[in-house]
Structure 1
Amino acid sequence: MSLFLQFEIGGHRYLLEAKCVAAVLPMPELKPVPGSPEGVAGVANYQGAPVPVIDLSALATGRAAANRLSTRLVLVRYPAADGEKLLGLVAERATSVLHADDAAFTSAGVEAAPWLGGVTPAAGSLAQRIEIGALLPPDLRAVLFQAVEEERV
């Protein structure tokens, strides 16, 4: 059994494995990154350090996450070639957790987005797993972490 943070994109349930989550915070003000690709929400200040932030809703649907009290900044440990880096994810209704057996996840049968993992019928409706390591294509990863380095200078 693993613990997952549950959230929504477009009214559908998604899961992030809790061991990948560093923190779940109220939405802070984000510094925009001019000229950035769709899905890049900006840069957040976390404990004095800049953290790149993507909007999962914008990435998946082209529509920015709704500004709700339950919309959170989820900081995840993103696996990078030079070690883990913090990555911020804007996630709607990110206020609950769920226990699920890893064996309960099955392929969704859709290969459109490599960061979408298997689905599970946990808690009565399908929930899809987000694969953090596959979330950023190389070009987006370069833009995000370059913006953070520029913020540090």
Structure 2
Amino acid sequence: MATIDVVQFEISGTNYAIDINTVQEIVEMMPITPVPRSPQHIAGIINLRGVITNVMNLNCLLGLDFGQNHESKKIIVLVPDAAGSSNIGLIVDDVQSVLQIDDENVDQMDASLSKEAFVKGIIKSGGGTTKQNLVIWIDIEKILEETLGTVEQCVC
């Protein structure tokens, strides 16, 4: 039986996860410098220990409402290889935990829906059948590939 390691986080009251091998680190929210005329999904840039990092609103990329309580938000910084050699951070409402999930606890999505929704699967966590939490396992590399490709095509 194979296991999957993911980082579980929350946006607008819903639990999501991304592959742990795409995550470099998780940092507390810090001041973000807006970039003029940037797309709505770009929150701006931060200076993270001397490295300029683009910060994206993941809720905007996923088509979700913006969460509340700006002070408790976190930034998930991705490894550059996962983000097409770019330094990218993702704003999330909160980071819950790192999960190690047996692949038998992941339900695959219908192929047509998963392609449109960028969902790798639904993780069932939390134990017994009556108390299970559902976590949406998103394909962050596919989201960024499409988003960064779209942004590059829009530059004149």
Q: Does the 8 Å contact 1:78/1:133 carry over to 2?
A: no
4+ aligned runs moved over 4 Å, structure 1: none
Unaligned 5+ segments in structure 2 are 127-131
- Give a deviation string over 1:87-129, Cα, whole Å, max 9, x none: 1000112142221124532233324645322111112121111
Q: Is residue 133 of structure 2 the alignment partner of residue 133 of structure 1? A: no
Aligned twin of 2:85: 84
Q: Return the letter of the residue paired with 1:118.
A: G
* Structure 2 CA distance for aligned equivalents of residues 133 and 103 of structure 1: 23
* Cα distance change of structure 1 residues 79 and 113 upon mapping to structure 2, 3 Å threshold: farther
Identity %: 26
Deviation at 1:24, TM superposition (A): 0.3
Aligned counterpart for 2:65 among listed residues 63, 66, 73: 63
* Cα distance change of structure 1 residues 6 and 114 upon mapping to structure 2, 3 Å threshold: same
Unaligned 5+ segments in structure 1 are 147-153
Aligned twin of 1:151: none
Q: Does the 8 Å contact 2:34/2:45 carry over to 1?
A: yes
- Counterparts in 2 of 1:35-114, with a 5 A limit? 35-79=37-81, 84-109=85-110, 110-111=113-114, 113-114=116-117
Computing the radius of gyration from Cα coordinates, the structure with the larger value is 2
Deviation at 1:14, TM superposition (A): 0.4
TM-score normalised by L of structure 1: 0.78
Q: Does the 8 Å contact 2:114/2:120 carry over to 1?
A: no
Considering only aligned residues, what root-mean-square deviation do their CA atoms show, in Å? 2.5
* Cα distance change of structure 1 residues 47 and 69 upon mapping to structure 2, 3 Å threshold: same
Q: Does the 8 Å contact 1:115/1:133 carry over to 2?
A: no
Deviation at 1:80, TM superposition (A): 6.7
* Structure 2 CA distance for aligned equivalents of residues 101 and 42 of structure 1: 37
